[in-house]
Amino acid sequence: MKSLIYSLWLSISVMSLFLCSCKDNKKTEKQKNDIVQQNSKPMSSADSTLFHFWDKFEMQDTAQVKNPEKGEQQLADFLQLLAQVPDSATRDSAVSLMLDKAKVNRSSFDYFIKQYEHYLYDGNSPMRNDIIYESVLRYLIKTDLLSDLEKEAYRPTYKLVLRNKEGQTAEDFSYELVNGKKQKLSDTKAKYTFLIFYDPDCSHCKETIQQLRDTPQLVQLFTQLQVQVLAIDPWGDRTKWKNYQSQLADQWINGFDSESKVLSFNLYDLKASPTIYLLNENKKVLLKDTYLQQVIAYFVKNNQ
């Protein structure tokens, strides 16, 4: 079992280098000491590096800020460090320190806010990360730099990133089967549920689905680990959904959101296609807005 999982993870990871998410074109695109002292535990060396990461960066120098090899690279490196931080309080503090420093120059502040969105929330970004973006949004809806109207623009996205977080119970919804019967996500009986929202017009959806369907080792692994694939078309075009059935495996649950509730009520944040979640048997979210290779990596870590 272990060797099977490892070989799958390596092969899927290699294939993923040549794939990118289909951008959803159906939805609208796209100080230090005070904060440190608030932490009751001693600061680790990693935290110290994070909190002092922007000390020598000159926010007033707009040319430096907007130079991709300077400002953008600095932010990318900062995000890599943030991704390793396990607790939200430290992430919030680090992001607040950085943006407080950027506030001295509104042009720099606006530039970095756009870069945060691009890296963390854009459907095509391999670094997209709702957990970190949550810290950014939490800052934006509280900062005194923005007007109330500007803050309100971020609240809908903030509500979305708070939904279906890892550890939470996934939002339940109904879907229609090919035979016309209705079921709910909560009806799924399996140790794991691989929930994939796909767009029939999305090329990357097709590639991901083909990997799931046609890779013998992956099919074997999902069978051994009792993984049920639940493929949902949420876009509301019944004809396209029916014409797409041949692309899906017979052992999967193939559903259609006939009432468009997933999108209408923003039950899930479908900023990219496909959007993938891994759920446990109680429908708790194990992985949110993830990739196939990350699911395999999860199995590597938790089924040895």
Q: What is the pLDDT along the chain (304 residues), one digit of tens a residue?
A: 555 554 555 555 545 544 555 654 444 333 444 433 444 456 677 788 999 999 999 999 999 999 999 999 999 999 999 999 999 999 999 999 999 999 999 999 999 999 999 999 998 898 999 999 999 999 999 999 999 999 999 999 999 999 999 999 999 999 999 999 999 999 999 999 999 999 999 999 999 999 999 999 999 999 999 999 999 999 999 999 999 999 999 999 999 999 999 999 999 999 989 999 999 999 999 999 999 999 999 998 987 6
Do 136 and 193 sit in the same domain of this protein? no
Do 257 and 225 sit in the same domain of this protein? yes
pLDDT value of position 16: 53
Do 156 and 189 sit in the same domain of this protein? no
Number of domains in the chain: 2
Q: Domain range spanning residue 242?
A: 2-22+168-302
Do 189 and 292 sit in the same domain of this protein? yes
Do 125 and 179 sit in the same domain of this protein? no
- Helix residue spans in 215-259 (DSSP H): 216-224, 238-243
In the block, tokens 């390596």 appear at 10
- Mention every residue, 6+ apart, whose C-beta is less than 8 A from residue 220: 4
Query: Which of 121, 144, 161 represents a domain boundary (last residue)?
Result: 161
pLDDT value of position 47: 84
pLDDT value of position 44: 72
Could you tell me the CA-to-CA distances from 209 to 17, 101, 170, 195, 206 in Å, in that order?
A: 16, 45, 22, 12, 5
Cα torsion 277, 241, 175, 270: sign: positive
Q: Helix, strand or coil for residue 167?
A: coil
CA 239 to chain centre: 29
Do 38 and 137 sit in the same domain of this protein? yes
In terms of Cα–Cα distance, which of 209, 268, 273, 270 is closest to 244? 209
Do 295 and 184 sit in the same domain of this protein? yes
- Helix residue spans in the chain (DSSP H): 2-16, 32-38, 45-51, 62-65, 73-82, 88-102, 106-120, 130-140, 148-152, 155-161, 203-214, 216-224, 238-243, 261-264, 292-302
Do 14 and 31 sit in the same domain of this protein? no
**What pTM was computed for the model?**
0.84
CB 172 within 8 A of CB 285: no
Report strand pairing: 22-23 vs 227-233. Answer: unpaired
Do 173 and 155 sit in the same domain of this protein? no
Could you tell me the CA-to-CA distances from 248 to 83, 111, 198, 206, 234 in Å, in that order?
A: 34, 42, 11, 9, 15
Query: Which of 128, 161, 194 represents a domain boundary (last residue)?
Result: 161
Q: Is 263 exposed, middle or buried (0-12, 13-18, 19+ CB in 10 A)?
A: middle
pLDDT value of position 108: 97
- Rounded to the nearest 5 percent, the helix, strand and coil shares of the chain are 50, 15, 40
CATH number of 192's domain:
3.40.30.10
Do 73 and 93 sit in the same domain of this protein? yes
- Cα–Cα distance for residue pair 221/147, rounded to 1 Å: 52
The vertex-78 CA angle with 144 and 113, nearest 5°, equals: 35
Query: Which of 141, 161, 181 represents a domain boundary (last residue)?
Result: 161
pLDDT value of position 56: 95
Do 236 and 122 sit in the same domain of this protein? no
Do 146 and 181 sit in the same domain of this protein? no
- Mention every residue, 6+ apart, whose C-beta is less than 8 A from residue 134: 88, 158, 161, 162
Q: Check residue 22 and report its DSSP letter.
A: E
pLDDT value of position 1: 58
The vertex-181 CA angle with 176 and 185, nearest 5°, equals: 55
